[in-house]
Amino acid sequence: MSHQGSNDAGRRPHTEWFTESRFGLFVHFGLYSLAARHEWVMTHERRSVEDYECYADVFDPDLFDAGRIARAAKDAGMRYVVLTTKHHDGFALWRSTTSDYNAWTACGRDLVAEFVEAVRAEGLRVGFYHSLIDWHHPDFTVDFHHPRRDNPDARAANETKNMDRYRAYLHAQVTELLTTYGPIDYLFYDFTYAEERDGWQGKHPADWAADDLLALTRRLQPGIVVNDRLGIPADLVTPEQYQPDAPMRVDGEPVVWEACQTLNGSWGYDRDNTDYKTPDLLVRMLVDTVAKDGNLLLNIGPDGRGAISDRDERTLAAIGRWMRLHGRSVHAAGAVALHGPFEAPPGTVATQRGDRLYLHLLAWPFGHIHVKGLAGKVRYAQLLNDGSEIRRTQIPPDRVALTTEPGGQPPGTLTLTLPTVRPDVEVPVIELFLEPGA
C-alpha cells in the first residue's frame, strides 16, 4: 500500500516508483578509480589531458562485475542503481561513437551495457549519472573548476574554444545513452555552477542549452525521472552530503527530493580515505530521510580494477540485514500524515505507510515511551524485528507518580511499555497498526 503523505503536491505520476523506492545505490567508477585519490583528482592535481590519459592506457576493469553490484544493491534493500556513465574527466564507460575516449576503446567492454543488463536482471530500476562537465574535451572552456585554470595562457586559450561544438557533443552523448539501452528510469545530471569565482565565470544553464537538453531527454525517454542539476526545474532536488532538517520545499511548495551521500566522503575510490560511516549511522540517515519524505542515494566507489571493496560490501550487507527486517518502514513510506496532532517522541523519527506508523528508536529508552497524539488511534503495536507485542496503555493526566507507577501524561498520549534489553539491530523499530481514519 502506498503512503500518501505531505509530499503529494510535489509528485507527478512518473515519479511514483521513485518516491516509493526510497533507497538507491550510486556507483562512481571511472579512470579516477585507478588514481585512487578522489574522483576530482584531475582538477585537484591540475593534471593536463595528456598526463591524465595515462589511466586510459592501462584501464582494465577485470573485476568489474555488474551482476555482483546489482545483487549487492538488491540485498541491501535498494530499489534502483545509478552508474556514472561519464564523470567530469570526460571518459565514457560505454561504446561511444562521439569520441574514442571510452571504455570500449580502452578495454573492449561496454560497461554501461553490462550494468543495464545486470540491474534489470535483478528487477531494479536503471539510472544513469552523466556529467555536464568535460575537462577532456578541447572546446570545454576553462573555469574555476577546470584543471588548467592556473595555466598562464588559460584565459587566452578560452578564446579558441567553442562551447557550441561542446554542446553538440554533450547532446550527442546523451542521445546515445538514451537510445541504445532501452528504457532508462532516472537521469542524474551533474552539475551547473552559475557563479563567478576568482575572476572566472562558472557554467550556466545556457552553457548546456539546458531547456533543449531536458526536452531531448524527455522526448527520447518519456517516462524518465530527471534531477535538478541542469540548473532548471525538473522532477526532484538533490541535496548532497548533508541531511535536510525538514521535508524540502521550493518556493514554499513540497518537492520530491533525494539526499546523495557517500560512505566515506569520497564518491570515487579513495584508497587512503578511511573516514567511513558506520552501518548504524547510515540506517539512521536513511530513516531520517524517509521521515522527511525523501530518498537516500548511497554511493560506493569500486576500486581501480572495478571491484567493490570488502568494507563497502560489509556495509551494504549490514544495511541489508536491517532492511530485511524493517524494509516496510522505508519502502513506500514517508512523513507521518495523521488526522489531528502527532509528535514523535524525543530520540525517534517516525514514518508512515498506509495504516502503519513506524517509530524508529535512535536511542533506547528505559521502560516506557510516550507518544503524544496517538491515544485511541492504535489497535496493535509490535517490535518489527521479531513481531513481538508491545503493551499499550493510557496514563490518566491526573495520576500522581508513586513508588512503582509513572505519573500522568497529557491527554491524547499513548504509552508503550518496552523490554529492558534493546533488540540487537542498528535501529529498533516499533510498528503501530492504526485504527481506520486515524
pLDDT in tens, 379-390: 999 999 999 999
- The segment(s) of the chain belonging to CATH 2.60.40.1180 are 348-434
Instruction: Report which DSSP code applies to 328.
Output: G
How many C-beta neighbours within 10 Å does residue 67 have? 14
- Copy the grid coordinates of residue 147: 584543471
Q: What phi and psi, each to the nearest 5 degrees, are found at residue 213?
A: -70, -40
pLDDT 10s digits, 115-147: 999 999 999 999 999 999 999 999 999 999 999
CA distance linking residue 413 with residue 169, whole number of Å: 61
| 2 or 229: which leads in pLDDT | 229
Q: Encode burial over 294-316: b for 16+ CB neighbours within 10 A, e otherwise.
A: bbbbbbbbbbbebbbbeebbebb
- Copy the grid coordinates of residue 411: 491527554
Which residues, listed in sequence order, are joined to residue 432 by a DSSP beta bridge? 357, 381
Local structure of 351: helix, strand or coil:
strand
CA distance linking residue 105 with residue 9, whole number of Å: 46
Local structure of 152: helix, strand or coil:
coil
pLDDT 10s digits, 269-292: 999 999 999 999 999 999 999 999
Asked whether the predicted pLDDT for residue 403 surpasses 90, the reply is: no
DSSP 90-129: --BSS--SS-S-BHHHHHS--HHHHHHHHHHHTTPEEEEE
Q: What is the mean pLDDT of residues 13-27?
A: 97
Q: What phi and psi, each to the nearest 5 degrees, are found at residue 205?
A: -55, -35
Q: Encode burial over 132-162: b for 16+ CB neighbours within 10 A, e otherwise.
A: bbbbbbeebbbbbbbbbbeeeebeeebeeee
In a 13 Å sphere around the CA of 141, the CA atoms on its Cβ side amount to 19
Q: Which amino acid is at 86?
A: K
Asked whether the predicted pLDDT for residue 208 surpasses 50, the reply is: yes
Residue 394 burial (C-beta neighbours within 10 Å; 0-12, 13-18, 19+): middle
Asked whether the predicted pLDDT for residue 39 surpasses 80, the reply is: yes
pLDDT band at 3 (very low <50, low <70, confident <90, very high): very low
CA distance linking residue 277 with residue 299, whole number of Å: 12
Residue 222 burial (C-beta neighbours within 10 Å; 0-12, 13-18, 19+): exposed
Asked whether the predicted pLDDT for residue 108 surpasses 50, the reply is: yes
Consecutive H or E run containing 378: strand 378-383
- The segment(s) of the chain belonging to CATH 3.20.20.80 are 8-329
State the pairing for strand pair 23-27/294-300.
Answer: parallel
Which residues, listed in sequence order, are joined to residue 350 by a DSSP beta bridge? 359
How many C-beta neighbours within 10 Å does residue 324 have? 12
pTM (whole model) above 0.85? yes
Top CATH class, 8-329: alpha beta
pLDDT 10s digits, 357-367: 999 999 999 99
Residue found by looking up cell 573555469 in the block:
143
Cis peptide before 191 (omega within 30 of 0): yes
CA distance linking residue 417 with residue 390, whole number of Å: 6
Looking at residue 10, what is its pLDDT? 56
Contact 379, 341 (CB under 8 A): no
For CA atoms 263, 265, 270, 271, the dihedral sign is: negative
State the architecture of 348-434 in CATH terms.
Sandwich (2.60)
Asked whether the predicted pLDDT for residue 8 surpasses 70, the reply is: no
